[in-house]
Each structure stands twice: as C-alpha cells, then as structure tokens.
Chain A
Amino acid sequence: MTHQPVLSFTERGIYCGAGDFYIDPWRPVDRALITHGHADHARPGHGRYLATHTALPIMKHRLGNIDVQGTAYGEVTQIGDALVSFHPAGHVPGSAQIKVAVDGEVWVASGDYKIEDDGLSEAFEPQQCHHFITESTFGLPIFRWKPQKQVADELNTWWRTCAEAGKTAFLGAYSLGKAQRLLRMLEGEIGPILTHGAIEGSNKVMRQQGIELPDTALLTKDTDPKQHRRALVLAPPSALGSTWAKRFGPAESAFASGWMQLRGIRRRRAGDRGFVISDHADWPGLLSTIKETGAENIYVTHGYTDIFARYLGENGWNAKVVPTEFGSDDDEAETAAAS
C-alpha cells in the first residue's frame, strides 16, 4: 500500500483522504472542517460543517441556514480513520487550529493565528505535530507587534485628545474580531462609542453568546452628532470618509491594522493615524510557534510565502509553499487587494 499523506493540497482545499473531509475548502464539498468564521475560511455551499462551539453563532449569522455541528476545544472526534481535534488559534473568538492524526502521524492546519492573548479570543495553544500548515500574512522581519496594552494606551490617548479638541474620532477596523477586540481596549469613560451596522451585527451575535462587550450605540442616518459629543465611531475602513461621516463636523480618522506598521501604507490608507494591531502572528510569533510545534515539515499557505519558506528552508526546516485561496478578510485585505 502506498503511503498517502494525511493532508493533501487539492483544487478544492486542504483534503484528508483518511477521513474524506476538507479543511476550510474554497469550493463546495460534502464535509468541511472550519478553522474560523472569516469569509475566506468559512465559505457557503458545503454539505456539512464542523467548527468550535464558539465559532458557530457567527458562522450561522454569516452563512445562514447551514448543516453545522459544534465541537469543544480539545475534544477528539473520529472521522473515518482520522482523529480530529480543534485547538485555540487566538485569531478571533472561536478560531481553531485543526489537528488531524492518522496512524500516529500528526498534522496541524493552523488557519490564521496570533500568539498574544487579546483577552477576547481563546488564547493560542501551540500543538506538537509532524507537519504544520502555517499562514505568513506578516512573514517578514519588518513586522513585530507591540504589546496590546501599549497600543491601547496610544489609542485611548488619541481618542481623548480628539474629544478634548471637540473632534469626533473615526476608527476603521474590520467588523469581525478586530472591531470587538478594539472595543474591549477602549476606555469607556472618555466618551460614547458609536458603531456602524456591519460591526454592530457581529457585536450582537457575540453578546448573545455571552461575550462581554462595552455599550455601543448603532449609528444610523438619524443619529444626531450633537447628542454624541466626544464620540468614537467604529466603522469598517470602507465607510470612513463617506458622506455620513461628514455630518459629524470636525473629525480625525484612524485605521487599526497590522499594515499600519508600514509608513507608506499608513499614508495611503489611514487618514490621520494608524494603529498597529493585528490578529495575525508577527515574525517572532511565527518563528516561535513553528519551533514549538516540533514539526519538521512546514507548509506555508498565504502571505509572503516564497520569502518565508526560503528562510525556513535555510534554517533547517523542510518548507514548501502551498497555493491556497485564503487571504481576503480582515488584516489580509492589503494583500488580498493585491493577490
């Protein structure tokens, strides 16, 4: 019998022959295991879905009426000849690395992940394995994140300064994950927080599943700016600078993303300010994780794949670039616009 790899990379997505299922497939399949609810990983049209309990509400919210089953972190499920378990990836609430073991050979598909505990998502837990599938959204040595506390201080100082100057603070962030993480970093006593509808939709789902978020008010076309002095408005980046924003009079705008690390992108995208905060691992985070897995075989899926894989190869790993169709949500938008 020829040896089949536990996971293989197909046109539909990452496939497990032993269990006849796919992980985050981008074409419709019968059985899909989903790492997290971002649109490039959880796509519509599959027969059956499996994801963590925490990820389910947002998936149902976004994908509608799907046939979905939940699993607890660490719980081992047998699918065919494969033993499958989900482990925290620290990316957004409910996000998971998916571990697949067949005859003692262990593979981990990490989806998207970050190392720092953001206080919102289940904290990342590195998994021992033989084969590790990693992202490389920020797989260059120019990307190193500051601790969240420090960014929170910068953010609140900016908001306070805006409020004291009589300006509304517009903060652009992606609606699922990043927005809620920011909400929990903001100091509520500075002023009221208004949210754009796309973000309030995710807020509602998370509040219902018991995730605590500060009070927010939904921004509508009837919102009277005069009733919301000192406000911070949280909105998807695409909504910044649109006509409704102009009603607020004097304002400053900022954008929160890992890409704000680069001055060129900051000036192109950010308006007045850029806050460097990402839900993806930075360079040291990627490297330390890869070391901790103990894996010898690394598959690099999206981001600066060629460069990152070459570096790993020079440092003793057996590293390959694997083409995927991930990378069109949240922080990956900069490369998504470009990949």
Chain B
Amino acid sequence: MKNFAHLFSAIDQSTKTTVKTAALAAYFKTAPEPDRIWTIALFSGRRPKRAVTTTRLREWAAEEAGIPLWLFEESYPIVGDLAETIALVLPETETSGDESLSDWIIGLRALAKLEEPQRKAYVLDAWQRLGGTERFVFNKLITGGFRVGISQKLMTRALAQATGKPEAELAHRLMGDWQPDEVTWNGLIEADDPAADASRPYPFYLAYALEGSPNALGDPTDWRAEWKWDGIRGQLILREGAYFVWSRGEELMTDRFPELARAMDFLPMGTVLDGELLVWQRDEDLPASFNALQKRIGRKTVPKKLLTDAPVVLHAYDLLEWQGEDLRDKPFAERRHLLEKACANLPAEAPVKLSPQLDFATWEALTGQRAEARAAHAEGIMLKRADSPYRVGRKKGDWWKWKLDPLTIDAVMIYAQAGHGRRANLFTDFTFAVWNGNDLVPFTKAYSGLTDAEFREITAWVRKNTQQRFGPVRQVTPHHVFEIAFEGIQSSPRHKSGVALRFPRMSRWRQDKPLQEANTLDDLKEMLRLYG
C-alpha cells in the first residue's frame, strides 16, 4: 500500500488541483492494474462494504492505545475524523506492510464472513504493522468516505492525462454499475467504445447573478424571460437509440432518472435539450419542493415506489442539437422557436415539458412578475438575450439569473458543534431557535455564511459559554441572535417546530439585536402559510 499512501500524501499536501491531478496521473501510469482500478473505484464512491462497525473500531483502538474509551471519544471531535483519530492514538510504528492496496481491500472484504475475534485479530495486526499514512489510509478503507479533495471530475481529468483519452469519454466509461473486481483496465478504460461518442454532452452555459435592477440591460425587447427553477440543471441527449442525462457538474446521471427513457417515444434521435430536472406534481401542475428531488439525487438505483411518488420531468429551456445538428451558434430566439416546435405536441405523460416564457413589455412589468415567482414554485427569473449564442462556461453578459431575495428570520443560537475535516476544532455547526412564549423552540441548523474570523470569534464565545455537553454538542447560553436566510419553507412533522427550511444559512450576525427581539414560532408559521 506504500504507493497508494504516497499518492495520498502527495494529494493531501497540496492545495493546487494541477499538482493533485499530476500526482494521480503519474499513479495511473505506474501502479499495478488492480490497484489502479480500485483507486478509481474509491475516488468514485465505490468503497468496499464496511466490514467492522465504527463502535468496535473505537473500542479496539482505545484498548490498543491503553486509554479509556471516553478519552478516545473526547479526542475524536477535536480531530474531526475517525480514521485519523485511530491512527493518532495507536502506538507509533515505523514498519510498513508489503501488501498492495487491492490485497488490503480483498482482505477487508473477506472479513464479512469471519467471526468477530478473527476480524479483530486482522485489524489489530494491520494496525501494528502499518505506520503513518498507511495506517490512516487503511482506516479510511474500513470507515469509508474517501473524501480527500479528489472529485470524480478531477480523477477523470487525471485518467485523461494518463491515457490520452478525452475526459467526456472516460466519464461515460466510469458510469454505471461496474464492480472493481470484475473489470479489467483494458475493458474499463482502453478498449474501443462506440457508445462514448453518442453520449458526449455539450459544455453548459452558466448565468451570472443579476445584482440590482435589470434597467441596465437596456431595451427589454432584446431579452427573453423564463422562470428560474429550483431543481437540477440537466442535459438530455437522445442519440443512436439511447438516452443520456448529464448534470451541470458533467456527471452522467442516466441511471438515476429511468423515467426520462420515455423521452425517446416522443422526440427524435439527434436531439439535445438543456433544462431543469424537477419532481413534478401533475395534479397541481407545479414542481414539488427541492426536498422531493433530493430523495432522487442520492439514489443510484431508484425503487418503483419512489418513481411513482416523485416522478421527474425535464423542463426544457434550450435546444442545443436538433436532427443531429449543433445549434449552439444560432441566436437564442431561433433555438427557442425550434424548441417550441419540438415540444409542441408532447402529451401530458411525456417526461419532458417546455419551460414557459414570461411575456413582458417593460422592466417594471417583469419586476411585478418576479414578485410572483414563489407562487409558481420558482426561485426567480432567468433573463436571456434573444440574439445570443449558447456559450461555454460562465460568461457575463447574455444570461442573467435574477433571484428572489431570500426569506429571513432572526433566530437565537442554542447549540453548537465543531465541524469536521478542515473545520475541525472550530465551532461551525449551530442550531437555532425562535421564541414560543418563554421557550426557545429549535427549528433549523446552519453551517455557513460567516467569515473565518467570525467563526473564530463565535468559537471562543462557545467555549466560555457552554452550559451542558451532549457528546460533541454543546448547549450554550442563549445570547446571540443571527439572521437566518433561506430559500423556502415547508411543513415537516419530523421537526419539533413543524417546519423545514430550504438552504438555511447565517446571513448576518445580529450583534445589535437583543435576545428578546428574535422572531417567534408564530412568525415562522405565518411564513409557512404565505410561502409554504
């Protein structure tokens, strides 16, 4: 595992993606074949099944380190990573194992069939023989979650550098349900694959946020407007008898949206649509909340019930390819015209809908429509210049997103917890409450929105004002009021407050606001009535 530990260190010791990619590419050129395949598997989320529970790992590590379990448990949140905590408390060793990465993975997989004493013996033997980074990597293999600053995209780029194959082709090859121990390097990476060309997406054009009023954009007749949906941007490709769904992050998501296969029944091959994937409530003819979509995003295979409960529809707003022809250089108005024709006769059961355009003569009129966005379950308006081509990446000028201002509420911080990884040892995860009479009712957590300096300041305050500790969670003196911004509100029986927020974050630390003036549960319920 020396090679892999070495690769891990090289990646971990740099903050530059070029350095990480080069290290990974070098590894792909030199490592033994099974190790290469397992590395791809690990960095694309195909980790081996966990063979030992984390409870056992903690107990064994404390025992081996000669420390009480409570002391291990106190150390863990300070380190912020279980694999690392174990590696640090165990007695130091300078030795290293001769086994390769794949040897260890095969060994770990075999543990599932063994009795606990044998599992323990195997793990302790590894801990005793592996020193430094190798021990940490071994622990990561057991605990899973190989998040080390390598995205699938970065890995695909490294593979492209190592093999000379195009990234998009490799991305396609790596999709789906392959098993690391059933594929060969040649089959997975090298062999000819005619399907790859057919699946290749166009790079997405991304909009900038519009700050202030659209008056600066000039004559409103030069512009087209449509709702800005709160879903997942997606590209639907119909080519050579197959369909492919790509995310904006250029991740192939075809397997997650099997219902989009029916698009082939209604649209011809040689069609590429740009649009928004939304869970559609057909009875109300409105998109469901992002929560409903979230249930779909996480699943690589979709159970039947979920397909019925949360059907996904692509809201098409651009046509990039029609009858096999790349349309991206044509003006938006012309592409839109063709898109409308293509979608004109789609029946209600089609998994593709045309995303409507908004009629407006003046910016004032459009401003009025924007205020109604929440009623349409949209999060604002998209503005697109009628004569613009479909550009690549985020370019200023032709596309603007004009979002609604977020909803906000002033809330009291009541619990704090240290972050993980890069934010370990810093209190960054907070629970907020609103008043209900003299009680504070928790209603949301938030992790982001403060500057590093503010996080340090609040961390210092939390340490001095902890009332009680529940494991890693600290109950703090109610004192600080924060403005919480969020994009939507939903009723939720799972929460004590009865509501769940969409994308809550701390928008302001209201040091000017006395505790008693924070908002109330009634205020929150009123927001639910208005916007839920």
Contact = CB atoms under 8 A, between A and B. Distances in A.
A267 B151 CA distance: 17
B15 interface: yes
B422 interface: yes
A338 B456 contact: yes
A211 interface: no
Interface string B236-249: 00000000000000
A271 B15 contact: yes
Contacts of B100: none
Interface in B83-118: 84-85, 88-89, 92
B459 A140 contact: no
Interface string A313-339: 010000000000000000000100111
Given A142-B78, A272-B13, A264 B423 contact: yes
Interface in A302-318: 304, 307, 310-311, 314
Interface size class on chain B is 20 to 34
Contacts of B81: 263-264
A325 to B, nearest CB: 12
Contact of B75 (A140, A268, A272, A273): A140
A337 B460 CA distance: 7
B426 A338 contact: yes
B425 A334 contact: yes
B460 A338 contact: yes
A267 B14 contact: no
A323 to B, nearest CB: 10
Contacts of A261: 88
B88 A142 contact: yes
B463 A264 contact: no
Contact of A262 (B12, B15, B71, B425): B425
Interface in B413-428: 420-426
A263 B425 contact: no
A338 B459 contact: yes
Contacts of A267: 12, 15, 421-422
Interface string B132-155: 000000000000000000000000
B89 A141 contact: yes
Interface in B43-80: 65, 67-68, 70-72, 74-75, 78-80
Contacts, number: 75
Given A264-B80, A264-B81, A311 B422 contact: no
Given A272-B13, A334-B425, A140 B78 contact: yes
Given A264-B81, A271-B15, A337 B65 contact: no
Nearest to A262: B79
B15 A272 contact: yes
Contacts of A271: 15
A53 B427 CA distance: 42
B68 A314 contact: yes
B424 A272 contact: no
A144 B75 CA distance: 13
Contacts of A338: 425-426, 456, 459-460, 463
A265 interface: yes
B71 A264 contact: no
Nearest to B19: A272
Given A142-B85, A338-B425, A338-B459, A264 B13 contact: no
A264 B459 contact: no
A141 B79 CA distance: 11
Contacts of B78: 140, 142, 262, 304
Q: Give the residue among A144, A272, A273, A337 with the most B Cβ atoms within 10 A.
A: A337
Given A263-B421, A264-B424, 12 more contacts: A143-B88, A144-B92, A262-B78, A262-B80, A262-B424, A265-B424, A267-B15, A268-B422, A268-B423, A268-B426, A337-B456, A338-B459
Interface of B: 12-15, 65, 67-68, 70-72, 74-75, 78-81, 84-85, 88-89, 92, 420-426, 456, 459-460, 463-464
25 contacts: A141-B88, A142-B78, A143-B88, A144-B92, A262-B78, A262-B80, A262-B424, A262-B425, A263-B12, A264-B420, A264-B421, A264-B423, A264-B424, A265-B424, A265-B425, A267-B12, A268-B423, A271-B15, A272-B13, A304-B78, A310-B70, A311-B68, A337-B460, A338-B425, A338-B456
Interface of A: 140-144, 261-265, 267-268, 271-273, 304, 307, 310-311, 314, 334, 337-339
Nearest 9 CB-CB pairs, A to B? A264-B424, A142-B88, A338-B459, A264-B80, A337-B456, A267-B422, A141-B89, A307-B74, A268-B422
